[in-house]
Structure formats: C-alpha cells, structure tokens
Amino acid sequence: MARRITIKIKGATSENESLRIFDFISQLDAIRNALCRIEDEVLEPGTPHMQYKLVDLSHQSPATVVIEVAPSPRGQDLSGVIADRFMERIKFIQTGKVPEEYDSIRLEAFRNIGPRQTKGSKNNLPKKWFSEISISSDSYYVDIGNSLEEEIDKIVGPDETVQGSISGTLELINIHAHANTFRIYPIIGPKKVDCSFKDDQLSNAIAGINRYVNVAGAMRYKRRDKFPYAITNAAIEIYADENELPSIFDLRGMAPNATGNLSSEEFIGKIRDEAG
C-alpha cells in the first residue's frame, strides 16, 4: 500500500522566508537519493523499482510537498518499509545512536538533507539560505535545522588507512588536468572503489580501461566499514583477458617426461597410493 511523506521547507528570515529554486530542488533530490539508497537495500535483485510521485504541492511558506511512495505495478510492495526506514534513519543520525550494521554508504545518502551554513555577503557572516526542513509520515516527524553532514561525519569518524590491494574492473577514468583518478568495480566486497594514482602509472591506467586489474596502495576505510571506499597512490597490474590465457590444450606436450618410465595410468595410481 502506498505511503506518503510530507516535506516542509521554510525559507530564511533574512530572505523574508522566500525560498530559492536551487534549495527547493536540491532538498527534494537529496531526499530522493536517500529513499533510493534504502530501496536498494530492501528490494530483491531484479525487482522493479518503486515509484515516487508528487501528489500535493503548496508554495505558501513553508513550501510543502507531499510525496507518495508506491510500488511498481509488477513489483514488491515495500513502500511502508522504505518510508519508515527513511524516517528512522534520520532520527538515528540526529541522535548519533546508529546501529553498527549501518555502514557509511547507508548514511552518506543523507548528507545533503537540511540547511547548510554558508558565508554571507555582508560582513562574511555565516548564513542559511533556508532555515529548516521538517519531514513527516504516518508514524514519524522530524525537524532538521542544520544539514545532517556534521552528524554523519561524527558517526563515521576519520579515515583509517591500511596498505593493501583489491581487484576489479577499471572504469570512469579522469586524467583531465592531472586529476588522475579512476574507479574499479570488484566482483566481491565493495560495490566500487575510487582510486587515485601518480603520473608514473598513467600508461597502466589508460591500458587498463574496461580491463580486470589489481590495484595496490593505501586503502582508505571508514571506521564502520568492512571494505575500503578509496585507494591512494594506486599501483595498477592488468590481468590478461580470458581469451589470452592458455587452455588445457595448450599444455599438451609441455612436460613429455613428467611420468618418467611409468604410463599415465601407473603414474596416477602411484599418486593415489601415496596420498592414501
């Protein structure tokens, strides 16, 4: 059954409670990202995505938006689970009492929800372009007077660095203005790892695009995470493509005297007897 989430965004008093389009859109996008993050956690692989519908809108201060979380016609109906978990997670972040199984990826999606302080144009004083956002559902209500960024930084803690390596497919390379970054997608472990490298690895990075590689360097972890989210000073080893590897037929005849004076059957039998 569809569930509704009501969002109210109040403009700053210094702006006569007028709300900038940028702030309005960015908050809705931040909330959508957080809902999609939870959706990825609860839906089974291959299940149609949920639908997020705008069902009511008011521009009077505070600007109010009502979003309906609804299942796809042929998908799982987990709208209640997603809506409740979204509200619960905000409360966890605000209190700092986040379950240990929540890694930083589950929290990062909430980072941009809430007003940020920026330097004002007069006297360079801190300024909020909107004063607060309140979010409510059937069972929950939260007020957010500041961006959740600071609370999330406290929860996930500083980076921990360990030398190590991880393998994955190299994609999303950026070498513009010596940015020297790429991303790998491992088969197991983290979904993705962002990597940076020095100029001496440039040729390897370019040659490794869309190839399976091993990346060694300073692996960066968040305190709550099992897997690294980034590697700095990456050294890149490119694995051979599958079609470049030798087959069993290529091994034929490579060691003609491996069995000595014994036949193949006698040689295998001897190995079995010794193992037994």
Q: Please tell me whether residues 25 and 122 are part of one structural domain.
A: yes
For 11-15, 131-135, 171-175, 228-232, which range has the lowest pLDDT when averaged over its residues? 11-15
Judge if 106 and 125 occupy the same domain: yes
Spatial CA neighbour of 43 closest among 70, 82, 84, 85? 82
User: Is the same domain home to 26 and 125?
Assistant: yes
Residue 148 structural domain? 3-156
Boundary-marking domain end, from 139, 156, 173: 156
pLDDT of residue 128: 80
Q: How confident is the model at residue 143 (pLDDT cuts 50, 70, 90)?
A: very high
Q: Which of 100, 132, 156 is the last residue of a domain?
A: 156
Peptide bond into 62 cis (omega under 30): yes
Quick one: 130 and 210 in the same domain? no
Provide the pLDDT for residue 125.
57
Of 39-48, 102-111, 226-235, 250-259, which gets the smallest average pLDDT? Answer: 250-259
Q: 148 falls in which pLDDT band (50, 70, 90)?
A: very high
* pLDDT (mean) for 12-31: 88
Residue 66: inside a domain = yes
- What is the rounded end-to-end Cα distance, in angstroms, of the chain? 63
Does 210 lie in the same domain as 87?
no
Using one digit for the tens of pLDDT, what is the confidence trace for 86-127?
A: 999 999 999 998 998 888 888 999 999 999 877 655 556 567
Mean pLDDT of 252-275: 76
Say yes or no: 86 and 34 in one domain.
yes
User: What is the H or E stretch that residue 152 is in?
Assistant: helix 149-156
Q: For the whole model, what pTM was predicted?
A: 0.71
What pLDDT score was predicted for residue 119?
65
Q: Of the segments 103-107, 180-184, 269-273, which one has the largest average pLDDT value?
A: 180-184
Q: Are residues 188 and 54 in the same domain?
A: no
193-206: average pLDDT: 96
Mean pLDDT, rounded, for 20-40: 93
Reply yes or no on whether the pLDDT at 182 is more than 70.
Answer: yes
Distance between CA atoms of 134 and 136, rounded to whole angstroms?
A: 7
Q: Return the closest-CA partner of residue 129 out of 271, 265, 9, 48.
A: 9
Residues 140 and 21 in one domain: yes
Check whether residue 149 and residue 165 sit in a common domain.
Answer: no
Instruction: Please state the domain count of the chain.
Output: 2
Identify the pLDDT of residue 253. 67
Q: How confident is the model at residue 241 (pLDDT cuts 50, 70, 90)?
A: confident
**99 and 80 in a common domain:** yes
Q: Is 163 left (phi over 0), alpha (psi -120 to 50) or beta?
A: beta
Q: Tokens in use for 50?
A: 């949920």
**pLDDT higher than 90, residue 2:** no
Round the average pLDDT of the chain to a whole number and report it: 89
C-alpha span between 141 and 130 (Å, rounded): 19
Report percent pLDDT > 70 for the chain.
Answer: 92
Tell me: do 141 and 239 sit in the same domain: no
Q: Is residue 263 part of a domain?
A: no
What integer pLDDT is reported at residue 116 of this predicted model?
84
Indicate whether 138 and 183 sit together in one domain.
no
